Amino acid sequence: MVGTLGGILLGISLSLRIFTLVISSTILTYTTPIDDFLQILRKLRVSYKIAFIITTAIRFIPTMEKKAQQIIEAQQARGAKFQDSNFVKRIKAYVPVMIPMIVESLRMSENLAMAMLNRGFGATPHWTVLQEIKAKPIDIVVSIIFLIVLSLLILMKSANYGSL
């Protein structure tokens, strides 16, 4: 019984960690404009190529989600069944969705590459921004609180607090 209880508690702990990561990343992407996110990455001295990859991925998530929904609706109109109770059949039903998604993502990346080439991406590692963001006092206070909480959590983890 003790092993089962430990497994349940570990499962709950891991689920809460994943839930926290998903919620915090969702809040970050919905509340921070992409230009500000790019400036933050630049101030953290992240390479401009890496920063571009991250912000492009964040920007294209909603676009790809809409494309996936359009493809699913088109496949359903053709008679595809995605609500099958058999797990294997459900996975197989998504194959006709994945192929157009891959083709569409390749097409979008090719268009993006051509647009970047035409605009001179990479010609210089420095870029200018229209409006420079600056940290306000509340930003500094929240950052300090976040660092304190993070440090406490790391100390608690290293002291095996809450372990089974």
- One digit per residue, the tens of pLDDT, for the chain of length 164 reads 556 887 888 888 889 889 988 898 888 878 888 888 888 888 888 888 888 888 888 888 888 889 989 988 888 888 877 777 777 877 887 888 888 899 988 999 899 889 988 888 777 767 777 788 888 899 889 989 989 998 998 898 888 876 66
Same domain? For 62 and 48 the reply is: yes
Domain count, the chain: 3
Same domain? For 42 and 81 the reply is: yes
pTM for the model stands at: 0.58
Same domain? For 41 and 114 the reply is: yes
How many CA atoms does the CB half-sphere of 141 hold within 13 Å?
3
Same domain? For 22 and 59 the reply is: no
Same domain? For 46 and 125 the reply is: yes
Same domain? For 21 and 99 the reply is: no
Contacts of 96 (CB under 8 A, 6+ apart): 75, 80
Same domain? For 141 and 127 the reply is: no
Q: Output the pLDDT for position 95.
A: 83
What is the span of the domain harbouring residue 114? 33-131
